[in-house]
Amino acid sequence: MADLKADLAGLGFENPISYINSGNLFFDSQEHEEKIREILTAYFSQSYDFPIPFVLLSSAIL
């Protein structure tokens, strides 16, 4: 998960953290939700040989 957190920081997301290797990631961003979704979709597609579905939730929803 450390590599993934570093990659998120490299993509411009601030304060990336993961929760106990669960795959849950938390980060700060000033980007709009759709832009974040585009960035993450491109990152996962380029970084892994299999599809990685994800759910993007704002802190207001949590």
pLDDT digits (tens, 9 = 90+) for 43-53: 999 999 999 99
CA distance 5 to 36: 15
**Domain span at 30:** 2-47
In a domain, 20, yes or no: yes
Beta strands per DSSP E along 7-61:
14-19, 24-28
Q: Is the pLDDT of residue 2 over 90?
A: no
Largest interatomic CA distance in the chain:
32
CATH code (residue 18): 3.30.70.1280
In a domain, 33, yes or no: yes
In a domain, 11, yes or no: yes
pLDDT confidence tier of residue 23, bands split at 50, 70 and 90? confident
Residue 41 has a CB neighbour count (10 Å cut-off) of: 15
In a domain, 54, yes or no: no
In a domain, 15, yes or no: yes
Three-state DSSP class for residue 25: strand
In a domain, 60, yes or no: no
22 DSSP 8-state letter = T
The total domain count for the chain is: 1
pLDDT confidence tier of residue 21, bands split at 50, 70 and 90? confident
Query: What proportion of the chain, given as a percentage, has pLDDT over 90?
Result: 77
Q: Is the pLDDT of residue 1 over 80?
A: no
